[in-house]
Structure 1
Amino acid sequence: MSRRSLHTPAPDAAALRARLDRARGAAAKADTDALLIAPGSDLRYLIGQAGGSFERLTTLVVPAEGAPALVVPKLEAPGYADIPADELGIDILTWVDGDDPYRLVAGRLGKPGRVAVSDFTPALHVLALRGALGAAEQILAGPIVRELRMRKDAAEIDALRKAGAAIDRVHARVGEWLRPGRTEAEVGADIAAAIVEEGHDRADFVIVGSGPNGASPHHDVSERVIERGDVVVVDIGGPIPEGYNSDSTRTYAVGEPRDADVAETFAVLLAAQRAAVAAVRPGVTAESIDAAARDIITDAGFGEYFIHRTGHGIGLDVHEEPYIIKGNDLPLEPGMAFSVEPGIYQAGRWGARIEDIVVVTETGVESFNGRPHELVVLDA
């Protein structure tokens, strides 16, 4: 019956209280009576702990007016003992098997007209809440909460900077493991261990895409044996103890590349990634950063081989707002952090990607990754 909550160093109570106050204000601005926040990154953002989502309901009720309440099964309550509930003004409402927790939420809210439910709340809870709340309209909380989380504060930026430095240390060691005769899976296992050794809680993902596998952006690893002359995409990351994530891609060659077009093609990719990073500053749109990279790749004749957006936001989640993609006219603001990761993927042959995490500053941009962006040619 044991459950393990996700414990990470939390912001101080004053910072969390300010986040809860902003959440209440955001709910009111969205003409929503309450936010219902399920375990996960939104909960961690607001109270400093993610908890866990199971068949028993746990939810943070954040009303537009009034005190928030954490509705939690009594057997799970000890996992939330570190939350400074008194300082945050949070009431803890426990329930036991046989009680109806959905009615507990409804009793807390009275007769709301509209509630916003966390995007990743399990359907079994969404439907039960719908039944308990009667005529209340349910909407997604994501569009409301993302307005809070997109703009990182100084402590969050420091954590992302720390994560970036940690993953840079892993990329600096890739030459220890990436050699002819080894499988992608063997190299990936060494990288995953190093991710933890260099300061992460765990390896969240390890992509080692060698040769033709590099043309699949989300390849993972396989039993393919790495060969001399392969171009290899290495995309790695994970959370540090503070809960914030790294995500960085570099492209390697195991000895001199066997394909004659690698150097010329990679030069195009390098120019595109540099141009996109250089374009980041307050006031420009997210889609303009995508265009800065995509136009260079397209003009060079590789447009059909760039098959994903240029970037994604990052923080407590590896992928979050803002998304750096055509059609997103969101103006960038200081504190917004995201990846810049154009790629060129030639199916059946090879692929390449360069990825940094950057943050918008008051005057421009700061990159959290400092490893060389050029194709890294390893001795083989």
Structure 2
Amino acid sequence: MAAEPDFAVRHMHLRGLIRKEGLQILRDPSSIAIAFLMPIVLLLLFGYGVSLDANHVPIGFVTGVQTAQTQSLIGAFHHSRYIEPVRFQNMQAARAALMAHRIDAIVRLQDDFSARLLSRRPVDAQLIVNGVDANKARIVQGYVGAAVQGWLQQRERARGRDTALPVTLVPRIWFNSEVRSRDYLVPGLVAVIMTLIGALLTALVMAREWERGTLEALMVTPVTLREILIGKLLPYFILGMGGMTVSLVMALWLFDVPLRGSLIVLVLCSALFLLAALGMGLLISVIARNQFVAALVAIIATFLPAFLLSGFIFDINSMPVWLQWLTHLVAARYFVAILQTLFLAGDVWSVILPNALALAIMATFFIGVSRLRMSKRLE
């Protein structure tokens, strides 16, 4: 008979703590701004500002003698949305434009280009690429090579000749058929944003309680430590999921990123990741006990690793081996893999289940360690 009153009392304690935290959120709109305004701002900034696409790349063309063949070759580049041809009379003008970053590459055709081409002799064309941005330089090389190869094949077919190529490559792109970097970056960006939101929400809130001394006062009441943790985490979990909803809506309707997987799976995995992020923020606040220090540590220990080591922008397999092992400690790494799979490929369970399990383990670890750390500090 005593179990029912005890349950009712515990339920009343928990409801009171949740109501108290809800009123605190309404009095201090910074938490609402972090949960709803920050995702909008960051998605707009990163979604439109960060792009790995190279479209309309200005490339200079230097031709000594204007012929039908050189005009045809340059015209082939005009049909590509990736290249914007710019003509120069001589190499001096083209070099000056390259040095001034007005163009990204130079294609130089020899004076005897047409004569050699018509007599089917070997023809050399020089390509000079600005290699300051190594990634863009490789992309430009690929663009120019593909354009020239396509022009040669089309020219030979028009003459009724064999292209003399033993293998013809027919590309087929899976998962991101339009090859838009935004479709790849925006899902990863959602994980980075949710990392910052989850860590900051609990880090600042718990640290504020430490500074004001209200947490010690709360501990002398009949409420248990478990009720305090649930009462603190649940309201901010709801806020975090609201921020996740805003991010999802922007990804689907503003950035037009496809969602090929299950929405239910996405929500469940997002909940696991948010619990892990909240647990990290809670642990930081328990250790720091100061809002400024907690916010600084949350950014350094959660946001930066999520941005650099999650695979959001930089390929993990291209990193040194020791750094690849270190990425396994970053919760965002697992969530980025899940998001990119759900958005671009679908419900690939061989990817989703292991990463979801890793998130569940990390959430349990951080929340469990935070509870132990808090109990030791308040004894």
Pair in the same fold by TM > 0.5: no
Report the TM-score when normalising by structure 2: 0.23
Structure whose CA Rg is larger: 2
| Larger RCO (CA within 8 A; separation ≥ 6) | 2
Report the TM-score when normalising by structure 1: 0.23
- The structure where helix makes up a greater share of residues is 2
